[in-house]
């Protein structure tokens, strides 16, 4: 197995999936807002997407350790194709429950694909020379940059081809990615040497547990104002159109992705030459991040458009560094044999945070407005900072040398 070739295949697979994932979210959000759905109803469309992500990460990590990560990755691609084709039915069929079911499949697919991609790097990279840190941040950053491209792609496809044709185009694109993955991806990637027990899905590692708790609030903090509230605020309050919203959010996520990919260099500069970050690094970054939504909530009414644009830029910088450092810490802390179990448990918490953030985003925005969403974001990030302080640094170091 050539590690570089396999890393390239895993990354390309992840990229293809991510483009459709970002586009699908934007298509659903804009299309149903256009149909007159309320912010809370739109949030409900994504409820199963996030909920089944929790279940998938928990079970998927165990399956990845038993069957191999190529199997879980290919299953994820296949399920996403089915989810896209489900949304090609006549418009009168696209009720809330039906779309929620399609989004449930998409959520399962997304987290199978992500867990597989992130876990596989532990098998392919060394932590001794910083390769693990660089590869994790590159994969994570490039994925988020392409998710931003996906946001733009979704808005553009909706404008040019309509909702149904957009689904057909994306299903065709993923079918090609699936075929390449089936032919070339290594069958033994990430498979545990010892048979993984179902009871081992729940982590016994304190480092994993504290990191997972912090991740829950970190991603809840982002989604509580970014996922539903922000796109609707840009349209309903600032008067932006579909393409403007799509381009703006796309550029934000692309910039956020580039920052993540460059995190090793940025943190090396900030940290005075230290190669790998520690839990203390994550705590300091989260503390700085919490200040941004607080300031935005305070000044939002004074100059809404300016505050949103500048605030989002600062949030992107600090959140990207936070997320990349967390992604490194979880892979470094995971046990080498059957990494996907620990990574799956961690991303279960990630999905839980997204679920809480998504539901709260629609509800809080509808009942209390954008300022309240931003205050909740600041509270959640502060909790993430407190929880990551509990991660024992020696557990990160011990696992890194396994």
pLDDT in tens, 195-223: 555 455 455 677 888 888 999 999 999 99
pLDDT of residue 306: 94
Q: What is the mean pLDDT of residues 292-300?
A: 95
| Close Cβ partners of 47 (under 8 Å, ≥ 6 residues apart) | 100, 103, 355, 358, 359
Average pLDDT over all residues of the chain = 81
Tokens of 396: 């990160």
Of 11 and 202, the one with more pLDDT: 11
pLDDT of residue 171: 95
289 near 267, Cβ under 8 Å?
no
Q: Give the residue numbers spanning the domain of 21.
A: 3-188+202-400
**Chain segment 269-285, per-residue pLDDT in tens:** 776 555 678 888 899 99
CA 151 to chain CA mean position, Å: 13
Considering the domain boundaries, does residue 196 fall inside one? no
Considering the domain boundaries, does residue 138 fall inside one? yes
pLDDT of residue 45: 82
CA 180 to chain CA mean position, Å: 24
Q: At residue 170, does pLDDT exceed 70?
A: yes
Considering the domain boundaries, does residue 314 fall inside one? yes
> In this structure, what CATH number is given to the domain that contains residue 159?
1.20.1250.20
| Close Cβ partners of 8 (under 8 Å, ≥ 6 residues apart) | none
pLDDT of residue 400: 44
| Close Cβ partners of 311 (under 8 Å, ≥ 6 residues apart) | 292, 293, 295, 296
Considering the domain boundaries, does residue 195 fall inside one? no
CA distance 27 to 163: 7
CA distance 76 to 289: 33
- Grade residue 401 by pLDDT with cuts at 50, 70 and 90: very low
Considering the domain boundaries, does residue 194 fall inside one? no
Considering the domain boundaries, does residue 331 fall inside one? yes
- Grade residue 253 by pLDDT with cuts at 50, 70 and 90: confident
Considering the domain boundaries, does residue 197 fall inside one? no
CA distance 322 to 326: 6
Q: 93, 61, 70: which is closest to 342 by C-alpha?
A: 61
Q: At residue 254, does pLDDT exceed 60?
A: yes
Count: domains in the chain: 1
Considering the domain boundaries, does residue 264 fall inside one? yes
Q: What is the DSSP letter of 89?
A: S
**C-alpha dihedral (77, 78, 80, 84), degrees to nearest 10:** 130
193 near 280, Cβ under 8 Å?
no
158 near 27, Cβ under 8 Å?
yes
pTM of the predicted structure, to 2 decimals: 0.71
Of 143 and 21, the one with more pLDDT: 21
- Grade residue 399 by pLDDT with cuts at 50, 70 and 90: very low
């Amino acid at each position: 197995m050539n590690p570089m070739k396999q890393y390239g295949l895993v990354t390309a697979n992840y990229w293809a999936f991510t483009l459709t994932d970002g586009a699908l979210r934007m298509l659903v959000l804009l299309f149903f807002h256009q149909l007159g759905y309320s912010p809370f109803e739109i949030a409900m469309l994504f409820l199963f997407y996030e909920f089944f992500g929790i279940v998938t990460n928990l079970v998927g990590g165990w399956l990845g350790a038993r069957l191999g990560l190529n199997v879980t990755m290919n299953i994820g691609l296949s399920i996403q194709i089915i989810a896209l084709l489900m949304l090609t039915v006549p418009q009168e069929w696209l009720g809330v429950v039906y779309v929620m079911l399609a989004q449930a499949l998409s959520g399962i697919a997304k987290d199978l694909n992500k867990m597989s991609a992130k876990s596989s790097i532990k098998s392919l990279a060394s932590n001794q020379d910083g390769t693990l840190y660089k590869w994790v941040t590159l994969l994570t950053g490039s994925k988020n940059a392409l998710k931003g491209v996906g946001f733009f792609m979704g808005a553009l496809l909706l404008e040019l081809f309509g909702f149904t044709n957009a689904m057909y185009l994306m299903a065709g694109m993923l079918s090609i990615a699936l075929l390449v993955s089936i032919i070339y991806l290594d069958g033994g990637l990430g498979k545990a040497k010892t048979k993984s027990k179902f009871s081992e899905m729940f982590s016994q590692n304190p480092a994993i547990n504290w990191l997972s708790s912090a991740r829950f609030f970190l991603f809840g903090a982002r989604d509580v104002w970014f996922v539903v509230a922000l796109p609707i605020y840009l349209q309903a309050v600032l008067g932006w159109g579909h393409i403007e919203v799509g381009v703006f959010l796309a550029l934000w996520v692309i910039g956020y992705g580039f920052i993540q990919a460059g995190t090793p260099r940025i943190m090396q500069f900030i940290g005075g030459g230290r190669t790998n970050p520690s839990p203390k690094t994550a705590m300091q970054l989260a503390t700085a991040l919490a200040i941004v939504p607080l300031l935005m909530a305070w000044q939002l009414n004074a100059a809404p458009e300016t505050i949103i644009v500048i605030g989002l830029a600062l949030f992107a910088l600090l959140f990207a560094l936070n997320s990349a450092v967390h992604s490194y810490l979880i892979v470094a802390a995971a046990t080498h044999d059957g990494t996907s179990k620990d990574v799956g448990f961690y991303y279960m918490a990630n999905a839980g945070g997204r679920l809480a953030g998504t539901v709260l985003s629609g509800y809080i925005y509808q009942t209390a407005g954008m300022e309240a969403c931003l205050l909740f974001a600041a509270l959640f990030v502060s909790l993430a900072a407190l929880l990551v302080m509990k991660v024992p640094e020696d557990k990160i170091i011990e696992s890194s040398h396994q």
